[in-house]
Structure 1
């Protein structure tokens, strides 16, 4: 799962969410080199002729286009959401790919997760409601991961009971 619960202290819980990257950087390198290698095979037949110089730019453009597309995909998926739950506060910070940071905080008593089965930008859209706002969380997760996240949020966001002192 591309999210993880951490417990920095006894009274604080943190949920870190990030988009899933199925192709690691080494895989990107292998894919680009593979396309280049497969693109050079047809050029072996015209090696030493003028046709080689006619085919070479198209092979290089295909390899460059693939590399740029994969790099852009990595850049767009470079985001992180951190939900911090303390005894009395819920605080969500979203680090967007271009460096912009969005924050939401609320009294934990009033904060609650909500699942929109239909009507959201994705099926089973999960939001947090509180402090007069509704903010999305984990929209980049798969449908099954959003359902599991919602179930965990319902359990974790219960207001901790305060024992009489």
Structure 2
């Protein structure tokens, strides 16, 4: 009788530990942004689209115009049991090029409390172009309602 009691206690403890482990949040990363070390290898005013592509890779997003910049976006999501996934971090790296395809600006942005925050900036001139476009990218990633697409709202 003692062996059955010990076995039942062990099984119950195992089930409790399994249930507690299932309550832990999981995290997922989406997208890719180059690290600061990789961005330090890119020289503003020297490197071209080809050298940037070979050192950090091509982005998934580019500017609308032919001379537009390259945009690397990354977000981190927390998934917790029955709750909807929550985005806890979003960053964007923007590399802009001049008309000759030479790196003009390298900027890193984040979204904190609904506001676009500049984390770092390496600029060859004081005129920053495209910040509103970057703001739109950061504020709209993940803000999607399927009901709007199919016309339920």
TM-score by length of 1: 0.28
Greater per-residue helix proportion = 1
TM-score by length of 2: 0.30
